[in-house]
Structure 1
Amino acid sequence: MMKRLLRRAAAGCALSLCAALPTQAGTLVAMETSAGTVELELFDEQSPKTVANFLRYVDQGFYSGTVFHRVIPGFMIQGGGFTETLERKDTLAPVENESGNGLSNGRGTIAMARTRDPDSATSQFFINSVDNARLDAQGDQPGYTVFGRVTQGMDVVNAISAVPTRIVGPHRNVPETPVVITEVRRLAGDTPATAQ
């Protein structure tokens, strides 16, 4: 009797978790870095504005030559806003926060970095190296918008997470040896939409 109840409870939990995950394949991108390649599936339906924002930067070649400038083991790796010399790149207008999309900052997800202003995300993103549900929307408090997940290359994320870091001016957790993003590109079959 108890085993049957536990099995039903486990099945119910599994179904509720699956319900929160995207069911259709989204846009696929490859992020080439000096540490290896990370492939991502973007959640076009759940985070449409955020994905469109990210892809504008991808299609412009914006991320080429940027670095992972903030690496915190057991938390996340952040990049997409600074050059190797830690010069901030000019960005597009901020994107509206979509953290109420039902997606969680789980291990291997990619989310938008932002300031305390929920609608301040521009080009910077982070990849969660562990489950970080505390970064999710909580009630009426916005969280950090998840807009994709790693499909290949989590070993690269783990390797970046383990690099030695230092303080450089106002920046903490900067890799001692820069981890450079050489290119982010759409994978075959995923082409830019017609500009509107």
Structure 2
Amino acid sequence: MAELNKHILRVGLLLGLFAIVATTLVAFTEENTRDQIQENQRQALLDGINALIPHEQYDNAILTDTVTLPATKNLGTETPTRVFRARSKGDPVAAVFTVVAPNGYSGKIKMLVGIYHNGTLAGVRVINHKETPGLGDKIDEKRSDWILQFEGLSLDKPISAKWKVKKDGGEFDQFTGATITPRAVVGAVKQSLEYFRAHRDALFAVTEDKK
């Protein structure tokens, strides 16, 4: 009986030691990779912004020159999001929004929308979606160049009534077999332009506390 108790004690001690070593290794790995993960995320975000607003067009620290918006119906957001503001020599250049089209065929479509200070679109990029492969996923730049057509457009080009897919009497192509997805994106981009026009001056005037 004594030998059995000793064996159980040894096993328990070994398991405890193993748990301590494993926990220490996990904590060490997490501590040493956290900074790199954050840097990778920061760089991916900056790359996405620069795809819309080339870095030659602004000279400020765009990732920290931000204003936080609450959940905003016109942008389709349900949680606070940051607007990134590009400036050159202190003058406003453009704003980059996170926008959500809530009515995609397979769910929400998350996008970055860049808008120049004059109300012209710098561009649009889809950053997250669940649309059908081979059909709705053509909104992804990696799948087709459809999303690139927004560059240079505005609420006046085309006129407001034409901000629809062609099936609805507008100017934007739908996809064969997939009208819902492009319709959702076009509608969300238009709403982004409308929001920007209504709030432009306030967006660039607000200064957030960076502490």
What TM-score, normalized to structure 1? 0.33
The structure with more helix, counted as a fraction of residues: 2
Q: Which of structures 1 and 2 has the bigger CA Rg?
A: 2
Higher relative contact order (CA 8 A, sep 6+): 1
